[in-house]
Structure 1
Amino acid sequence: MLAEVLGSPRSVVTSPVSGRGYWRRVLPVLVLLACVTRAPSFVRPLWNPDEGYLAIQARMLAAGGRLYETVVDRKPPFVPWLYEAAFALCGSDSLTSVRVLAVLAQLSTAVLLASLARRRWGGAAGRTAGVLYLLASIGLNPEDAQAATFEVFMLPCTAAAMWCADRRRWGAAGLAVACACLTKQTGGAVLVPVVWQLWRYGLSRTGLVRLGVGMALPVLCAALLTDPSGFLFWTVTGSAAYASFTGSELHVLFRGLINTAILAVACAGLIPPVVRVLRIARTGAAELWLWLASSVLAVMLGFHFFGHYYLQLIPPVALLATAALQILPRDRLATALFTSACCCTLFLAWGLLAPRPELAHAERVAEALGHRTDPGDRVLVWGMHPETYWLADRRPASRFLTAGLLTNYSGGRDGPQVGEKYAVAGAWPAFREEMTTHPPALVVDDSQGRPYAPDRVPSLRRLLAADYEEAGAVDGAVLYVRTP
């Protein structure tokens, strides 16, 4: 029985008659759940610095900036382009447009998972997979789960890759894998279960070529639309120091354990059925286990363990739980749904009620920037809160929107590998040229004693000493104005 339920990719084939009207009944439920679970995302102007980084990147691109040249980040181009397009249509004063897109992304992921489950185990399993996924999808710190950032837009691409592979549409599967990679590099982890399915169905030259071409074309187009060498550097070769495990090991590991525990609470309704089935037998749909295993490795890659990394684990866990529930007594399904609903309610309340002190700090600094500068002035915020530029509606004086790119202070790392010499290759010459060509009217030192403070960064310290004078402080951030 277990092999029939978990082992075959199409154990239950729904007939056209039994499937008539299926999505007409299921879609409204999934739409409602997607809207409810993402409701907290609309209650705050920003959830985390990544949203601020993307927002100001989009403004710079709209003003004529070029990605990987005058607008830089370690991420692929899809989400910055998505923000730019949303701002072009709806304006850049609010993130409501991209929040709506995030709702659609989560809904699309749920629909694809429901379709996968329905094809394998029947209509009831499809409903179960979609509902369980959405209930668990916000099961992290709200700043990780509710933000409209890379992982949220990556998930429908990974689910689409599995959906296409399940139907032997190898060209489309390759395209979906490429879209996942162009959203975030770790989205490429879904290639492992896709290749497994290609081999399982009978490895053919045609299928392999279609998969390879489907993957290569979007990546090649993205490289050509930006700067090919810059694209390669910023998305692949230029992040060695960032991905290093050295520095603040205990702090990073503690963060990983905390986020694992939080996600385990969110998946309290999903994990017990899977564990129960594992006690019966250790067999199952290998591609689902490979999807989960490759996603775990993707979360670990880089040794940062941010909470939003863990979103990648939820789709395969939801499908595995759905598979397990097919062979367990019916009351287990009710228990799983009830437990997941209760946990979802807990995280909803957290998202709606939890304070955001970092946002309040960025808003106070942004207000000071607005008062002390004119709309056309360039400013430099030396810190880890790029959202300050967006909140103040001021143009950054540098392409480097955080001090992390110039000091390797990243992911809470504050150990020995933080400093000017650990910056992204070529960053400091470019930064000095920017400060000379377009000197900022105001510099905000928002380091507050952290390892990237100006007294530990000689080039910045010399710049401030030569051309700027202290003009006050706001909420711990020191303001410097340019001397006549």
Structure 2
Amino acid sequence: MPAASETAGARRGNAPVPRQRGRLAGPLTSWPQGPAAWRGRYRTVLLPLFAAVAALTHLPSFLRPVWNPDEGFLATQAGVLAHGGALYQNVVDRKPPLVPWLYEGLFGLFGAGSLWPVRTLAVVAHLVTAALLASVARRRWGDRAGVVAGLGYLLVSIGLAPEDTQAATFEVFMLPWTAAAFWCADRRRWTLAGLAVAGAALAKQTGGAVLLPVVWMLWRSGGGASQGRARRKGALGLAAGFVLPLAAVAVALGPGRFLFWTVTGSGSYATVSGSAWLTAAARGLGNAGILLVACAGLAVPVALLLRGRGGGRRFADADLWIWLAASLVAVVTGFQFYGHYYLQLLPPLVLLGTAALRRRPRWRRPALAWTALAACGFLVWGLTAPRTDLDHAHTVAAAVRRDTPPGARVLVWGMHPEEYWLAGRAPASRFLTAGFLTNFSGGRGGAQVGERYAVPGAWDTFRREMADHPPALIVDDSRGQPYGPSRIPGFRDLLRSHYRPVGTTDGAVLYAPRR
């Protein structure tokens, strides 16, 4: 505790009492002093508090079997891998392997009948991200800033449509790696930072964007001769930590296949010319607006700080601005603008908002109150969101189970691979959605859809699969979309030559083999 004379001097308006690192103001003033005491309280009080908030804000996650097609894709993909399939051979995706392997491992431990183990791990991923952001904020701006950053992240982590924030998708498992990369770079642990960047890129390619602020922090780490040597050593450690894990994974999966499916094979899908601009702009602006509502308590102080006076102080945290800019580029890459892409913006935005609130104290209470109120609104949205697509998937899955025996292979021609998982049937093709064969994407509308826009070589592979192992049932789930049989001659010819319609269910048409 400060001496009585110091306290009295502070009350008279003299020099302020020096800040005590181990103590929080406000309701936490009874916390003990000293870094060691703070760390003990951090583990025993704040981490459980973060865990409780993470569990509460993501409670809706556990109330549905599947939230979006990405979860269905990962569940179906993990089922193929668990039965001896090989990634990028027996089942393919345009994503790196870390999250499919995670699903596969959890299915092996807990069974493939439910996604609750994956959802639990997703909550842990949010908790780890919040703890790392709190640690960065406390190191830079003090104890209260750490609390604001950790709780602020957890509250805004549900600030999008529920299918984007409550699902256990690639972005959720990417965020702890990105936060860890920044945390390690902030402490000049460059090899560990490189490993964390590699982990982020192996969860989703755009996670590698955090490498840009890490490199900036390395470059700014020193200028003298001895510091220059340390910087060169750090650069070697960063490069080794980043490159070696990627090289090891590429060798394990096959360098050509790994490079094709994660980088070079997605040209048509990621191209700007394939965008329906009105659809893309509406989706992008809509999701940005929703996120800004959730993050207004943090984003508005940042905007006011930029407009205000203060010279270079506005850009004192250049590494955070670089992180935010790199994340923004990652979000707009490919012009798909799915809501869950925007989750990548949250860690740097939360830290910038925390810094802005520190410099504008009068905004703290309104900002935190708005953030908490918005989180309550998004939580209610998650608890009451309509189940239209899920009900359709259940209906189709029930029809597939009814018309096929256990162990049968089926083909679902659509964009909802969760129907395989819900039906408990194996896919007859490595391509789990029609998007690989037509380039259709909901984020881009119907622009550039057709066989000639498919993944290179996909149709030759698909025809060979259909000839070698004809599916016991084909479900045309296009329902008037641009990838329906009338627009895709290869699929239409397959149906006419070898299959006959046997019924419909909720708009999907079922085809059985001709005898």
Q: Normalising by structure 1, what TM-score?
A: 0.96
What residue is the counterpart of 1:283 in the other structure? 315
For 2:359, what is the secondary structure of its paired residue? coil
CA 1:158–1:13: 2 relative to 1, 3 Å: farther
What residue is the counterpart of 1:5 in the other structure? none
Q: Tell me which of 269, 272, 279 is aligned to 1:251.
A: 279
What residue is the counterpart of 1:19 in the other structure? 38
What residue is the counterpart of 2:296 in the other structure? 268
Once the two structures are TM-superposed, the CA of residue 78 in structure 1 deviates from its matched residue by 0.2
CA distance in 1, matches of 2:447, 2:80: 33
Q: Tell me which of 205, 209, 213 is aligned to 1:193.
A: 213
What residue is the counterpart of 2:350 in the other structure? 318
8 Å contact from structure 2 (residues 335, 444) kept in 1 = no
Cα deviation code 1:124-144 (max 9, x no counterpart): 111110011100000000000
Cα deviation code 1:155-191 (max 9, x no counterpart): 0000000000000000000000000000000001100
| 2:242 is aligned with 1:215 | yes
CA 1:437–1:114: 2 relative to 1, 3 Å: same
What residue is the counterpart of 2:100 in the other structure? 80
Once the two structures are TM-superposed, the CA of residue 114 in structure 1 deviates from its matched residue by 0.4
What residue is the counterpart of 2:482 in the other structure? 451
Report the residue type matching 2:304 in the other structure.
Answer: R
Report the residue type matching 1:138 in the other structure.
Answer: I
| 2:252 is aligned with 1:225 | yes
What residue is the counterpart of 1:475 in the other structure? 506
Q: Normalising by structure 2, what TM-score?
A: 0.90
Once the two structures are TM-superposed, the CA of residue 25 in structure 1 deviates from its matched residue by 2.2
CA 1:179–1:131: 2 relative to 1, 3 Å: same
Report the residue type matching 1:45 in the other structure.
Answer: P
Relative to structure 2, which stretch is displaced further, 70-79 or 238-247?
Answer: 238-247
CA 1:280–1:48: 2 relative to 1, 3 Å: same
CA distance in 1, matches of 2:304, 2:492: 60
Relative to structure 2, which stretch is displaced further, 288-297 or 19-28?
Answer: 19-28
CA distance in 1, matches of 2:447, 2:148: 48
Q: Tell me which of 200, 207, 214 is aligned to 1:180.
A: 200
CA distance in 2, matches of 1:309, 1:332: 29
Report the residue type matching 2:315 in the other structure.
Answer: T
Once the two structures are TM-superposed, the CA of residue 69 in structure 1 deviates from its matched residue by 1.1
What residue is the counterpart of 1:6 in the other structure? none
Relative to structure 2, which stretch is displaced further, 406-415 or 92-101?
Answer: 406-415
What residue is the counterpart of 1:7 in the other structure? none
Pick the structure with greater CA Rg.
Answer: 2
CA distance in 2, matches of 1:265, 1:412: 22
Once the two structures are TM-superposed, the CA of residue 437 in structure 1 deviates from its matched residue by 0.7
Report the residue type matching 1:229 in the other structure.
Answer: G
Counting only pairs closer than 5 Å after superposition, residues 331-346 of structure 1 correspond to structure 2 as 331-346=362-377
8 Å contact from structure 1 (residues 12, 120) kept in 2 = no
Q: Tell me which of 71, 74, 81 is aligned to 1:54.
A: 74
Structure 2: 5+ residue stretches without partners: 1-18, 23-33, 223-227
Counting only pairs closer than 5 Å after superposition, residues 56-455 of structure 1 correspond to structure 2 as 56-202=76-222, 204-245=231-272, 246-278=274-306, 279-281=308-310, 282-329=314-361, 331-455=362-486
Report the residue type matching 1:290 in the other structure.
Answer: I
CA distance in 1, matches of 2:336, 2:279: 10
Relative to structure 2, which stretch is displaced further, 441-450 or 412-421?
Answer: 412-421
Once the two structures are TM-superposed, the CA of residue 242 in structure 1 deviates from its matched residue by 0.5
| 2:26 is aligned with 1:42 | no
Once the two structures are TM-superposed, the CA of residue 413 in structure 1 deviates from its matched residue by 3.0
Total equivalences in the alignment: 473
Relative to structure 2, which stretch is displaced further, 204-213 or 410-419?
Answer: 410-419
Relative to structure 2, which stretch is displaced further, 461-470 or 203-212?
Answer: 203-212
8 Å contact from structure 1 (residues 383, 402) kept in 2 = yes
For 1:380, what is the secondary structure of its paired residue? strand
Relative to structure 2, which stretch is displaced further, 275-284 or 414-423?
Answer: 275-284
CA distance in 2, matches of 1:143, 1:309: 12
CA distance in 2, matches of 1:101, 1:364: 29
Once the two structures are TM-superposed, the CA of residue 456 in structure 1 deviates from its matched residue by 1.3
8 Å contact from structure 2 (residues 21, 35) kept in 1 = no
CA distance in 1, matches of 2:71, 2:40: 39
For the aligned residues, what is the CA RMSD?
1.3
For 1:73, what is the secondary structure of its paired residue? coil
Once the two structures are TM-superposed, the CA of residue 483 in structure 1 deviates from its matched residue by 1.0
Relative to structure 2, which stretch is displaced further, 278-287 or 402-411?
Answer: 278-287
Cα deviation code 1:268-290 (max 9, x no counterpart): 21112212222133322000000
CA distance in 1, matches of 2:214, 2:263: 22
CA distance in 2, matches of 1:216, 1:13: 38
Cα deviation code 1:203-256 (max 9, x no counterpart): 522111100000011111111221221100000001110011224211011000
CA distance in 2, matches of 1:254, 1:12: 49
CA distance in 1, matches of 2:197, 2:300: 30
Report the residue type matching 2:302 in the other structure.
Answer: V
CA distance in 2, matches of 1:217, 1:55: 28
Once the two structures are TM-superposed, the CA of residue 336 in structure 1 deviates from its matched residue by 1.6
8 Å contact from structure 2 (residues 337, 443) kept in 1 = no
CA distance in 1, matches of 2:116, 2:145: 33
Once the two structures are TM-superposed, the CA of residue 332 in structure 1 deviates from its matched residue by 2.3
What residue is the counterpart of 2:27 in the other structure? none
For 1:454, what is the secondary structure of its paired residue? coil
Report the residue type matching 1:260 in the other structure.
Answer: A
Cα deviation code 1:393-424 (max 9, x no counterpart): 00100000000000000134344411011100
CA distance in 1, matches of 2:345, 2:498: 49
For 1:473, what is the secondary structure of its paired residue? strand
8 Å contact from structure 1 (residues 13, 121) kept in 2 = no
CA distance in 1, matches of 2:100, 2:261: 14
8 Å contact from structure 1 (residues 166, 197) kept in 2 = yes
Once the two structures are TM-superposed, the CA of residue 459 in structure 1 deviates from its matched residue by 1.3
CA distance in 2, matches of 1:238, 1:228: 13
